[in-house]
Structure 1
Amino acid sequence: MSKLEDQIIEHLSDPKYRPIDSGALAKKLRVNKKGMPEFRNELELLVSDGKIREGKKGRLQLKAASGFVTGIVKKISSGAAFVIPNDAKPAADRKKQDVYISSRDLHDAQTGDEVLVRLSSRRRSGGQRCGRVDKVLERASNVFVGTYLEAQGQGFVRVDGTAFQGDIHVGDPGAKGAVPDDKVVIEMLRFPSANRVGEAVLTEVLGKRGDPGVDTMTVVHSLGLPYEFSEDVLEDARLQADHFDEADFGDRMDLTKETIVTIDPATARDFDDAISLRKDKRGHWQLGVHIADVAHFVPPGGPLDRSAKDRGTSCYLPRHVIPMLPEIISNGLASLQEGNVRYTKSVFIEFDAKGNPQGAEVANTVIKVSKRFAYEEVMPVINDPQSQKGKVSAKIVQLLMKMHELAMMLRRKRFANGALQMGIPEVEIDFNDDGNVTGAHERHHDESHEIIEEFMLAANIAVAQILSSRDIPFLRRIHGTPDELRLKGFQEFCSGLGYDLEKFQSRKEIQAVINSVEGKPEERAVNFALLRAMKQAEYSPEEFSHYALNEEDYCHFTSPIRRYPDLTIHRVVGELAAGRKPQIDSMGELLQLGKHCSTTERRAEKAERELKRIKLLRYLEDKVGEEMDAFITGVENFGLFCQGTEVPAEGLVHISSLTDDFYTYLQASRTLKGSKSNAEYRLGDQVRVLIVNVDVDRRQLDLRVVSPPKKARKMGVSPKGLPKKKGRGGRKSGRDGAAKASSDSRPSRGRGKGDKSKKGGRKRR
Structure 2
Amino acid sequence: MLAVGGICGTLEPFMEKSMTIDKDRVAVQYLFEGEPSKTWRAGEIAGTLGFRGKQLKRLQGLLLELTREGVIRQIQPGRYALGQPDDMTTGRLTVVRSGAGYVVNPKTGASIWIQNADQGTALPGDTVTVRQYHAGGDEARGKVIRIDQRSTRDIVGTLFSKGQHVYVVPLDPAFRQDFAVADVKGAADGDRVVIRLTDWQDRNRAPQGEIVDVIGPADKPSLDTDVVCRQYDLPKAFPQAALAEAERVAALLSEPGDRVDLRDTTILTIDPVKARDFDDALSFSRDDRGRRLLGVHIADVAHFVRMGSALDAEARERATSVYLVDKVIPMLPEQLSNGVCSLRPDEDRLCFSAFLTFDADGKMVGRRFAKTIIRSSLRLNYEQAMAIINGAPVEGLPQPPPERAVALIREAHALAQQLRQNRMQAGALDLEVPECEVLLDETGRMTRIRINPSDASHQMIEECMVAANEAVASELASRSIKILSRLHEPPDPEKIDELQAALVLLGFKPGDLSNPQRMARFLAESADHPLKHHAHTLVLRSMKRAIYSADAAGHFGLAKQWYSHFTSPIRRYPDLVLHRQLAAYLAGPGVKGAMPAGYLAAAAIHCTEMEQRADDASRALIEIKKYRFLQQQLDDQKPVVYDAVVSRVTTFGIFLDVADLQLTALVHVSLISDQFVTFNPSNETLNAGGTVYRVGTPVKAFVCKVDFIQRRADFALVREAKAADTRGDKKRPPEPHRRGEAHRHATAPAAKPHATTLPEHAMRRIHKRTQDAAGPRLAKTDAAAARSARPSKKAAASPQKHARQGPGGRKSGGRKR
TM-score higher than 0.5 here? yes
2:322 pairs with 315, 332, 336, which one? 315
2:170 pairs with 159, 163, 171, which one? 159
- Equivalent AA in structure 1 for residue 359 of structure 2: D
2:631 pairs with 582, 597, 621, which one? 621
State how far apart, in whole Å, the 2-side matches of 1:408 and 1:374 are. 19
Task: Say whether 1:35 aligns with 2:98.
Answer: no
* CA deviation map 1:571-629 (0-9, x unaligned): 11222333361442222321221111111111111111100000111111132373632
- Measure how far apart 1:136 and its partner are: 3.4
- Equivalent AA in structure 2 for residue 455 of structure 1: C
1:498-577 equivalent positions in 2, closer than 5 A: 498-577=507-586
SS at match of 2:360: coil
Task: Say whether 1:603 aligns with 2:616.
Answer: no
Identity %: 32
The 1:112/1:656 distance shift into structure 2, 3 A limit, reads farther
SS at match of 2:367: strand
* CA deviation map 1:148-183 (0-9, x unaligned): 45677886544325566775444444x3x5444432
* CA deviation map 1:201-222 (0-9, x unaligned): 2222323333354111111111
* CA deviation map 1:379-407 (0-9, x unaligned): 33344389999733232232223222222
1:719 pairs with 750, 755, 777, which one? 750
State how far apart, in whole Å, the 2-side matches of 1:264 and 1:73 are. 34
- Equivalent AA in structure 2 for residue 35 of structure 1: T
Aligned to 1:470: 479
SS at match of 2:448: strand
* CA deviation map 1:714-756 (0-9, x unaligned): 9865323348xxxxxxxxx954545xxxx54xx4355xxxxxx
* CA deviation map 1:490-541 (0-9, x unaligned): 3344344454344433223222222222332332342222122211111112
1:315-334 equivalent positions in 2, closer than 5 A: 315-334=322-341
- Measure how far apart 1:329 and its partner are: 0.8
Q: Is the 8 A contact 1:113 1:139 kept in 2?
A: yes
Deviates more, 1:597-606 or 1:372-381: 372-381
Task: Say whether 1:136 aligns with 2:152.
Answer: no
- Equivalent AA in structure 2 for residue 160 of structure 1: L
The 1:665/1:658 distance shift into structure 2, 3 A limit, reads farther
The 1:226/1:281 distance shift into structure 2, 3 A limit, reads same
- Equivalent AA in structure 1 for residue 678 of structure 2: F
State how far apart, in whole Å, the 2-side matches of 1:615 and 1:260 are. 39
Aligned to 2:667: 653
State how far apart, in whole Å, the 2-side matches of 1:568 and 1:278 are. 29
1:85-124 equivalent positions in 2, closer than 5 A: 101=117, 108-110=121-123
The 1:386/1:233 distance shift into structure 2, 3 A limit, reads closer
2:679 pairs with 663, 686, 693, which one? 663
- Measure how far apart 1:464 and its partner are: 0.9
1:358-373 equivalent positions in 2, closer than 5 A: 358-373=365-380
Q: Is the 8 A contact 1:279 1:286 kept in 2?
A: yes
Aligned to 2:75: none
- Measure how far apart 1:138 and its partner are: 5.0
- Measure how far apart 1:705 and its partner are: 3.7
Q: Is the 8 A contact 1:549 1:737 kept in 2?
A: no
Task: Say whether 1:229 aligns with 2:238.
Answer: yes
- Equivalent AA in structure 1 for residue 48 of structure 2: G
Q: Is the 8 A contact 1:73 1:115 kept in 2?
A: no
State how far apart, in whole Å, the 2-side matches of 1:83 and 1:378 are. 44
The 1:716/1:52 distance shift into structure 2, 3 A limit, reads farther
- Equivalent AA in structure 1 for residue 407 of structure 2: Q
Q: Is the 8 A contact 2:262 2:374 kept in 1?
A: yes
State how far apart, in whole Å, the 1-side matches of 2:658 and 2:487 are. 33
Q: Is the 8 A contact 1:154 1:172 kept in 2?
A: no
The 1:27/1:722 distance shift into structure 2, 3 A limit, reads closer
Q: Is the 8 A contact 1:363 1:578 kept in 2?
A: no
Task: Say whether 1:701 aligns with 2:713.
Answer: yes
- Measure how far apart 1:550 and its partner are: 0.8
- Equivalent AA in structure 1 for residue 531 of structure 2: E
Q: Is the 8 A contact 1:646 1:717 kept in 2?
A: no
* CA deviation map 1:25-65 (0-9, x unaligned): 1568999761339999xx9xxx9xx9759xxxxxx995587
State how far apart, in whole Å, the 2-side matches of 1:117 and 1:351 are. 49
Q: Is the 8 A contact 1:223 1:603 kept in 2?
A: yes
- Measure how far apart 1:430 and its partner are: 1.8
State how far apart, in whole Å, the 1-side matches of 2:606 and 2:300 are. 23
Q: Is the 8 A contact 2:183 2:211 kept in 1?
A: no
Q: Is the 8 A contact 2:585 2:593 kept in 1?
A: no
Q: Is the 8 A contact 1:337 1:369 kept in 2?
A: yes
Task: Say whether 1:347 aligns with 2:357.
Answer: no
1:692 pairs with 704, 707, 715, which one? 704
1:66-465 equivalent positions in 2, closer than 5 A: 101=117, 108-110=121-123, 135-139=146-150, 142-148=153-159, 156-162=167-173, 168-173=179-184, 175=185, 178-191=187-200, 196-242=205-251, 244-246=252-254, 248-384=255-391, 391-465=400-474
Deviates more, 1:325-334 or 1:630-639: 630-639
Aligned length: 676
State how far apart, in whole Å, the 1-side matches of 2:509 and 2:161 are. 61
State how far apart, in whole Å, the 1-side matches of 2:70 and 2:551 are. 20
Deviates more, 1:582-591 or 1:551-560: 582-591
* CA deviation map 1:317-353 (0-9, x unaligned): 1011111111111000100010110100001011113
Q: Is the 8 A contact 1:661 1:677 kept in 2?
A: no
Aligned to 1:25: 25
State how far apart, in whole Å, the 2-side matches of 1:279 and 1:389 are. 29
Deviates more, 1:391-400 or 1:435-444: 391-400
State how far apart, in whole Å, the 2-side matches of 1:380 and 1:691 are. 39
1:494 pairs with 487, 503, 506, which one? 503
State how far apart, in whole Å, the 2-side matches of 1:172 and 1:389 are. 61
TM-score (norm 2): 0.73
The 1:21/1:397 distance shift into structure 2, 3 A limit, reads farther
The 1:140/1:706 distance shift into structure 2, 3 A limit, reads farther
Aligned to 2:736: none
State how far apart, in whole Å, the 2-side matches of 1:509 and 1:169 are. 53
The 1:227/1:678 distance shift into structure 2, 3 A limit, reads same
Aligned to 1:56: none
The 1:389/1:216 distance shift into structure 2, 3 A limit, reads closer
Q: Is the 8 A contact 1:69 1:119 kept in 2?
A: no
State how far apart, in whole Å, the 1-side matches of 2:713 and 2:816 are. 26
TM-score (norm 1): 0.78
Deviates more, 1:351-360 or 1:148-157: 148-157
SS at match of 2:641: strand
SS at match of 2:677: coil
State how far apart, in whole Å, the 2-side matches of 1:165 and 1:281 are. 66
* CA deviation map 1:535-558 (0-9, x unaligned): 111111224211111111111100
* CA deviation map 1:463-511 (0-9, x unaligned): 1111111111101111111222322333344344454344433223222
State how far apart, in whole Å, the 1-side matches of 2:173 and 2:511 are. 43
- Equivalent AA in structure 2 for residue 470 of structure 1: R
State how far apart, in whole Å, the 1-side matches of 2:155 and 2:517 are. 46
Task: Say whether 1:748 aligns with 2:816.
Answer: no
The 1:422/1:167 distance shift into structure 2, 3 A limit, reads closer
- Equivalent AA in structure 2 for residue 647 of structure 1: L
Gapped regions of structure 2 (runs ≥ 5): 1-17, 30-41, 73-81, 106-110, 134-140, 721-741, 755-801
Task: Say whether 1:479 aligns with 2:479.
Answer: no
